[in-house]
Structure 1
Amino acid sequence: MIVDALAGLWREEGATPLGVDALLRSAAAGAAGLAPEAVPGAEPYRVPAGRPGDYATALAQRLARRAGGDPRTLAAGIAAEARRRPDVLDARVEGNGFVNLTVTGTARARSVRAAVRGLPYLRGPATLRTAAPAPPAAGAAAADDGIALSDLSAAADLPAARRLARDDARRRIALALTGHPGVGLDAAAVWPVRAHLDPGTGDVTWRDPPPDTAAAVGGDAASAAEPARLLAVIGEATARIAFCRSAAERPRAGELTGPGLPALPTPEHPGAWARQTDANPAFGIRYAHAHAVRSREWIADAARAAGAEPPPGAPFAAFDAPAAVAVLTAPPAAALLGALFDGPGHLAGAGRRREPHILVRYLEGLAAAYHDWRETWGTSTGEHAGTTAHDAGRCCRDTIAARSALCAAAAAVLAAGLSLLGAAAPTRL
């Protein structure tokens, strides 16, 4: 029955880390004559440009070390078994026992509907979840579930605020990877963060909620503690991302994490963290989320105007239609799908190494991939979302559904990643 479950995961998930892991473990079980539960995680990764295949694994090497066999021989058996699976175009042996897979565009397109789950998707295969929950740091917000955020504005100084932000991120990442009683990991796309909601629309705005400390709210701004004054300058969401972006626990004086990006920004010298431009990584990530959310609305509006609106549920249906596959496997969309594929591995690395900057840098890359993709089909201004009333009649419903679903997938993963850092994801441009 486990074999059937693995086959079902591959058919349902497509080319996600979970789906490819299931495919490879099933093939390895057949090649090595093992029960599927005895096969370790395949830990698939994307093949670098210029090498054959879409995804690769060193699973044969790990199995050979256990049994004392030849990894290339076992890899050849795994490749032969994989080629018998649906949606596998090729499987070949590379180097000393690596198996490189080439899969159909349909399998890669199908992965979109898994990514829309957000946080459950980022958790990845169970075999990747090696982090352990971190105990609450001294001074961190007390909470039974370990998810509540610390009050950065109440910290004694900026280094203390930075430590709180990083400890909050570590704790949330660890809990996301290992699971926690009472936490809706399989239902909620994001975890609670401090956000300013528009009472009329329910949108998450760019305006941060006021700090909790009385000094920052009612006192003289000049006499407020440095953390509260910094939050007033760049906002809490940006501060948390800025504090988590550096790999160093104790950055040197004047240390930068990028052009104009101090590892420890101050109210007087916030650098590019105070800008609402692409020079500010926090802005770029959050803007990508807001744009993806709004793009779905623009797509739907334009499709309705042209009479080409997909039926309910279509954006998350199986992407077997040629038009949908063509949209999702064109180079810019394929690059975005590749960035989505990398998410679970990066989150697992951030948890295993207890380094939140790995998640920050991943989200930056995902946001960049989203922006590169959306610029190819005209959603920069939101006026047409790449589907004008004139041309939507020629654009089939499958194409519209595919674009909408990829926007939803990018938004879900960005929102989940931001929530693990304790940062709000705006939904209004």
Structure 2
Amino acid sequence: MTPADLSLTVLHAVRRAVDEGVLRVDVPARVAVERSRAGGTGDYATSVALRLARPSGLDARDVAEILKERLSDSPAIRSVDITGPGFLNFTLDGSSQELVHDRVIREIARTGISYGHSQLLSGTHVRFAPVTEPRAVLLTETVIRLLQAQGATGDIDGIDGIDGADRTDDSSVISGTDRSVGEPSATADVGTHTTDVDTHTTTPHPERLPVAPSVYLPDLLGVDVARWALLRPAAHDRVLDGAALLVQHERNPLFRVRYAHARARRLVDNAAQLGFAPAYESAVDEPRLLGLLGDHPAVLLSAARHRAPDRVARHLEAVADAFLAFQHTVLPLGDEKPSAAHRSRLALAEAAGTVLAGGLSLLGISAPDQI
């Protein structure tokens, strides 16, 4: 069961409760499901009961109990728990999780760096107000690229731009020239947390992204470092120290992300020299890394909806850290012969590298094969 499947299952439970007359609310268009946070229980959680409490006239925990009754016998859900003021927490069946992980790895192999792109925002057009401040220009251009990756279109009010995917340098940021985005190629949406599709909507007034101003210094720092320094913090926060990002050290998050990608590529090359290739043939006990890869589509969708490239950057850091802790188990040691376990671990390593490359690409940052 993917997060998207779980979201639909919860939505069906709400609809059943309404049809049975035990819950008097309008059925929401979608139900958001996210991975349980540190200190929580289960694999995934939703706050839908809190959302429905006020319109139903019931306590949130009562709403949660109503939904739990209609979810406990769902296939692939091992248990449903209620925590806090009314959060529903789901523990999935172990075999179901293995199927999800298998599906994620295969989907990443099939779609490549487009993994996580979708058409979920197809029909949505976003207009942005003209901007000239360097960080605002960079943020707007990146947000448009994120929207494009989810099927939306975007442009700058009053500007006839070019497709954001055709940008080959950072002249737009330096000069303040604005760009518009056209239709992206069709890609998979496996693993997304939501299933609703916005149709033919346009923002009524041009959006202006709130940004703490800052200079953009690609000539001094290089394009990759200059972009990360401005995009990694939330738009209203201060930018990062560019000089620190130039140091190739594990304390440097940009270095860790790019090094993790390069390391994943190197593992695939090293495995080829040993005579084997990636193939996800057996389950790999790396729940954190597998979970992060499965969450990638939802992160991209959230970043587009909330105009927040920093969410992508933070997610890439988490993927990189989980991969770097796992990488030492991939290749055979000593006289050990390559096995199905090694091929599966290599497939996971390759998938992590692909996700890192795709995320960096959306931020306009390169993913070198060697560092």
Structure 2 equivalent of residue 42 of structure 1? 31
Structure 2 equivalent of residue 194 of structure 1? none
Deviations 1:140-172 (A, max 9, x none): xxxxxxxxxxxxxxxxxxxx5444322221221
Would the alpha carbon gap of residues 178 and 184 (structure 1) be closer, same or farther in structure 2, given more than 3 Å must change? closer
Identity, % of aligned positions: 29
Trace 1:297-308 onto structure 2 (pairs within 5 A): 297-302=269-274, 304=276
Would the alpha carbon gap of residues 49 and 164 (structure 1) be closer, same or farther in structure 2, given more than 3 Å must change? closer
Structure 2 equivalent of residue 418 of structure 1? 360
Structure 2 equivalent of residue 211 of structure 1? none
Query: Number of residue pairs matched?
Result: 309
The alignment status of 1:33 with 2:16, answered yes or no, reads: no
Contact 1:119 1:185 (C-alpha < 8 Å) held by counterparts: no
Structure 2 equivalent of residue 24 of structure 1? 10
The alignment status of 1:404 with 2:346, answered yes or no, reads: yes
Trace 1:277-288 onto structure 2 (pairs within 5 A): 277-288=249-260
**TM-score, L = length of structure 2:** 0.69
Structure 1 equivalent of residue 128 of structure 2? 135
For structure 2, the 5+ residue unaligned runs are 21-25, 154-181, 190-214
CA distance in 1, matches of 2:237, 2:81: 46
Structure 1 equivalent of residue 116 of structure 2? 122
CA distance in 2, matches of 1:125, 1:56: 24
Contact 2:61 2:85 (C-alpha < 8 Å) held by counterparts: yes
Structure 2 equivalent of residue 343 of structure 1? 296
Would the alpha carbon gap of residues 404 and 33 (structure 1) be closer, same or farther in structure 2, given more than 3 Å must change? farther
In the TM superposition, residue 108 of structure 1 has moved relative to its aligned partner by 2.8
In the TM superposition, residue 248 of structure 1 has moved relative to its aligned partner by 4.9
Structure 2 equivalent of residue 242 of structure 1? 229
In the TM superposition, residue 124 of structure 1 has moved relative to its aligned partner by 7.4
CA distance in 1, matches of 2:99, 2:112: 15
Identify the range of structure 1 (61-70 vs 118-127) with the bigger mean alpha-carbon deviation.
Answer: 118-127
Deviations 1:78-102 (A, max 9, x none): 3333332332211122233321111
Of the three residues 91, 96, 100, the one matched with 1:102 is 91
Would the alpha carbon gap of residues 301 and 131 (structure 1) be closer, same or farther in structure 2, given more than 3 Å must change? farther
**TM-score, L = length of structure 1:** 0.61
Q: Which has the higher contact order (CA 8 A, sep 6+)?
A: 1
Would the alpha carbon gap of residues 70 and 164 (structure 1) be closer, same or farther in structure 2, given more than 3 Å must change? closer
For structure 1, the 5+ residue unaligned runs are 1-9, 140-159, 189-225, 266-270, 378-384
Contact 2:266 2:369 (C-alpha < 8 Å) held by counterparts: yes
Would the alpha carbon gap of residues 274 and 103 (structure 1) be closer, same or farther in structure 2, given more than 3 Å must change? same
The alignment status of 1:59 with 2:31, answered yes or no, reads: no
Contact 1:133 1:175 (C-alpha < 8 Å) held by counterparts: no
In the TM superposition, residue 409 of structure 1 has moved relative to its aligned partner by 2.8
Given residue 62 of structure 1, which amino acid in structure 2 is its aligned partner? R
In the TM superposition, residue 21 of structure 1 has moved relative to its aligned partner by 1.7
The alignment status of 1:175 with 2:148, answered yes or no, reads: yes
Contact 2:18 2:27 (C-alpha < 8 Å) held by counterparts: no
Please provide the CA RMSD for this pair.
Answer: 3.7
Structure 1 equivalent of residue 185 of structure 2? 184
Of the three residues 320, 329, 345, the one matched with 1:367 is 320
